[in-house]
Structures are given as C-alpha cells and as structure tokens.
Amino acid sequence: MATLTLTPEYLPLRPSRSVPQGVSASSDSITRRGIQSRQRFYEASAALRSYPDPIVLDYSRVFSNLIPTINAIGLLLDRPEGWNGYDVAAPDWHAIERAKIWVATLFAEVLLSERAWIQPQVSSGRNGEILLEWWKGDRNLEVYIEIDRVESLQTLASDPDADIIDADASRGIVRAEIWQWLNND
C-alpha cells in the first residue's frame, strides 16, 4: 500500500506560535503617529476644522461638491461617435479616467488652499478629449484633457483683444495659478 507524503508546500496553513499575538509597542506607536499625523493635517485646514471628528471624517460631506462633476464626466461614456450630429469622435475612455483624476486632484488642492470650489461645465471635444469649463465674472477657464496631456486656456470676456493664455495644466503649480487667476486672487 502506498503512503501519501505531503511536502511543506502542500501542507495546510496553520497559525504559528512564533507569530506575535496582540499589539506590539512599535505597532501601537506607529498607529498613534498615524492618528496624530491625520489630526495635524485636518487641523491645518480651516475648511476641514468644522468637522466634529477629523479621524472619523464624513467624506461624503467633504466631497459632495465634487460628486456631480465626477458623475458628469463619467456620463460622457454614453456619447457615441457623432453624438452632436457632426463628425466628432466619441469621448475617449482614457481621457475620461484622466479627467476624473485631474479634477479630483484640483478639488483637493482647492479645498486645502481654502478657496471656494466652482462647479465646471463638462463636455467633450471633437477628438474625444474632455472639456471642463469654469466662468467667474468675465474670466473663463477651459481645461482640455486628453490621454497624454492637459491644457488650459484663460480668456477675459470683457476684453476680446486680450491674449489667450495657455498652459500645461498637468502640474500642480499650474493648477494653483489658473485657479488663482480664475478667482482673481
């Protein structure tokens, strides 16, 4: 009669007595440092200080102003080629995903800078790029998001002869500058 021998890689996993049980002093210290770090982060922002417990932050309240924009960007997936009656591409899936990430990053930066968030108009362009557009007074900010680039255009409605300012809006410093320009800060 043959015997079956199990090699170590086929043995069922069993708890080892050598694995420490409970919480070690170093684990407890790391946890406390993580909590303190989050507390300092939320205490640093006046916009977040109004929440009762920064550790148990109600993210739905913080991000409720961003959700309509993310949803509107996601709905662009429903647009087929020629969606506007002309020869236009359907919005590009990769550009849609990049637009969601870009606008969420901008939103977080605006929140941390304690400026007010303005809901953009959301659309798509003829080549499948995503267009986000903000108006404040006579200032117009357009952001075109493609798979491999993010470009912004700044215009003044009150001065049609003014130069159009364009920039690579993929960088944080540029996002801060264009938001500051929009808000006339």
DSSP per-residue string spanning 127-162: TS-EEEEEEETTEEEEEEE-SS-EEEEEEETT-TTS
Q: In whole angstroms, how far apart are CA 126 and each of 66, 70, 104, 144, 152?
A: 25, 21, 24, 11, 17
Mean pLDDT, the chain, whole residue set: 78
What's the chain's Rg over C-alpha atoms?
Answer: 25
Say if CB 72 and CB 108 are below 8 A apart: no
pLDDT of residue 30: 63
Determine the angle formed by the axes of helices 93-112 and 67-75, rounding to 10 degrees.
170
Which of 141, 97, 93 has the alpha carbon at shortest distance from 119? 141
Give tens-digit pLDDT for 94-120. 999 999 999 999 998 998 888 889 999
> Of the given ranges (46-50, 58-62, 68-72, 149-153), which has the lowest mean pLDDT?
46-50
pLDDT of residue 37: 59
Q: How confident is the model at residue 27 (pLDDT cuts 50, 70, 90)?
A: low
Gap between the Cα atoms of 140 and 129, Å rounded? 18
Q: Structure pTM?
A: 0.67
Q: State the average pLDDT over residues 141-155.
A: 95
The β-bridge partners of 165 are 154
pLDDT exceeding 90 applies to what percent of the chain? 51
pLDDT of residue 16: 42
